[in-house]
């Protein structure tokens, strides 16, 4: 463990972070709803997840692992249920 000080964000930086988080949440929620309610194929659903992941990495560089940990299980579960995959 290091004794590095925790960086304090400016108001502007915090607002930008909040905006990016809201955008990602909307994209994920919209994509989950679209997958659940439309007649897209499993492959199209997977491509959508990859596109959202790509956008998440644009919004939050070097945070691929966080996306994989937080959102991929939700997408995987929905796709498995919708398409009755094992």
Which pLDDT tens digits describe the chain residue by residue (86 residues)? 567 778 788 999 999 999 999 999 999 999 999 999 999 999 999 999 999 999 999 999 999 999 999 999 999 999 999 999 75
Q: Which residues contact 27 (CB under 8 A, 6 or more apart)?
A: 52, 55, 56
What is this structure's pTM? 0.84
């Amino acid at each position: 463990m290091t004794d590095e000080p925790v960086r304090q964000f400016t108001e502007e930086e915090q607002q930008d972070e909040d905006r990016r988080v809201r955008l990602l949440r909307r994209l994920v929620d919209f994509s989950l709803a679209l997958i659940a309610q439309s007649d897209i194929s499993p492959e199209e659903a997977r491509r959508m997840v990859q596109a959202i992941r790509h956008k998440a990495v644009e919004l939050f560089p070097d945070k691929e692992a966080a996306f994989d940990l937080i959102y991929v299980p939700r997408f995987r579960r929905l796709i498995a249920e919708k398409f009755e995959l094992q």
